[in-house]
Amino acid sequence: MVFNSYTFVAFFAIMLLVYNLPISWKAKKVSLLLGSYVFYAAWNPPFILLLWLSTVVDFFVGRALYTQQNPVKKKVLLVVSLIGNLGMLCFFKYGTFLLENFVALVNTFGVDFHPAEPSIILPAGISFYTFTTLCYTIDMYKKESQPVKSLLDFSLFVTFFPHLVAGPIVRPPQLVPQFEHPKSATRKQMLDGLLLLSLGLFMKVVLADALLADTADTVFNTPEALATLDAWAGVLAFSGQIFFDFAGYSTCAVGVALCLGFVLPQNFNYPYAAIGFSDFWKRWHITLSAWLRDYLYIPLGGNRKGKFRMYMALMATMLLGGLWHGANWTFVAWGGLHGLYLWAEKFIGDKRNLTAEEKDRQNRQWTGFLYAFLTFMLVNITWVFFRSESFGTAWRILESMFGLVDGGKMVLTTMALVKVAVVIPALFIFQWFMRNRKVIEVAYNMKWWSLGLTWSFLVLMLIWAQESGGAFIYFQF
């Protein structure tokens, strides 16, 4: 079930109705949990078993980790959780990838090994709920938070349908306390939630799918070298598409949760207005960036054990972050390129040695805007690897972008070029002017009739473009 479907509209209406019935708080939580299972089962019902297994194992292992005093037994319990979660993730998400690379390796050494191709279906959202439960058991091991008191609350924390399939990646202290006491949406929360849901669907259905998706698909699916203009248009289109698609989902998730009275963490904060790559990763997929920082970068040494260790930890984090996105070496290249950008930025920053006040003053001037534009253009180069199914496709696109081929093919219509020429500059400029603002605050500063007209426009455009809506991109991760 996806947010941009009539099925979800009916499902959400039923969930709101049941949740607001005069029943006990426990009954409301049970209804939310059962509804979340229905929401997930709409993709492939048997995979509910994986979700149950991950939930039950980590609930009891987490409780045991918190109370266990024997260091050896604690490590054994942590290993059980890591093997269970990462083993499940590796099998379903990376099983085929690992087998293909093993076959290629042994064939290189002359071993004629050709096993039957496995037929592994990737469960929806497995990367997200695996990281959600992992952070719980790791926190229990470190005793950084209290264990969840009931299996019902923990199950709802893992399975809560707004964030289940594509995030935000929620940590126990951010959501579990909200399940401990009766909660219902205020009038303001309901209006805010419906506005965010409308905005998120507009970003996904209208901007990502109706205006940009076809252009990106045409360029990346063309096997020949392309004209430079077409190559750039396709890459810029995908840059906009991936943002509107993923940020649209996160906006919907926050809005849906708010309609029920729950607050989810922000996942995007105008990333294309980032001044530099450290700033970019504080604004793009914020919950994943924070997860990788706290559970990978810092344990690897972070910036506490010298410059060399810091650079190695940073690159390892970005490479693994790239691999998290998909079982393909192009994703690793995408992460590695971001790692190189961060290396260069830190090296230059150390040489310049500006104070925080000097950086802030610089960012408020036109130099800040130019740095943001440079960051945006360099990020676009990384998207080539993220979107390409192979390095051959990525090199072909890059060569076409920088005019390294003769007689590149023109595949885009004038209208497709116009869409990109209008949407992408508007996106960048809008994010620059909104980089320190919040949508809800801006909405409440508008005149009532202006907000009403804007909201009506979003809904009308959704009705117009509804047939263009497809699955969210991050469902495959």
User: Which of 140, 125, 138, 160 lies closest to 28 in space, CA to CA?
Assistant: 160
Nearby residues of 367 by Cβ (< 8 Å), 6 or more positions away: none
Is residue 407 exposed (0-12), middle (13-18) or buried (19+ Cβ within 10 Å)? exposed
d(CA 236, CA 202): 19
Written as one string, the DSSP assignment of 220-251 is HT--S-B-HHHHHHHHHHHHHHHHHHHHHHHH
Is residue 273 exposed (0-12), middle (13-18) or buried (19+ Cβ within 10 Å)? buried
Is residue 38 exposed (0-12), middle (13-18) or buried (19+ Cβ within 10 Å)? middle
User: Which of 376, 375, 380, 373 lies closest to 394 in space, CA to CA?
Assistant: 380
| Spatial contact of 259 and 189, defined as CB atoms under 8 Å apart | yes
Q: Is 338 a catalytic residue?
A: no
Which amino acid, one-letter code, is at 224?
E
Torsion sign, CA atoms 367, 372, 373, 375: positive
| Spatial contact of 322 and 332, defined as CB atoms under 8 Å apart | yes
Residue of 114, 163, 285, 325 marked catalytic: 325
- Give the Cβ contact number of residue 287 at 10 Å: 23
Helix axes 329-352, 391-401, angle to 10 degrees: 50
How far out from the chain centre does Cα 364 lie? 29
Q: Residue 50 phi/psi, 5° resolution?
A: -65, -40
d(CA 366, CA 379): 20
| Spatial contact of 246 and 204, defined as CB atoms under 8 Å apart | no
| Spatial contact of 161 and 219, defined as CB atoms under 8 Å apart | no
- List the structure tokens of 268: 């995007």
Burial 55-64 (b: 16+ CB within 10 A, else e): bebbbebbbb
User: Which of 265, 167, 169, 247 lies closest to 201 in space, CA to CA?
Assistant: 247
Nearby residues of 364 by Cβ (< 8 Å), 6 or more positions away: none
| Spatial contact of 104 and 41, defined as CB atoms under 8 Å apart | no
d(CA 5, CA 171): 28
Q: Residue 226 phi/psi, 5° resolution?
A: -115, 160
Catalytic residues: 325
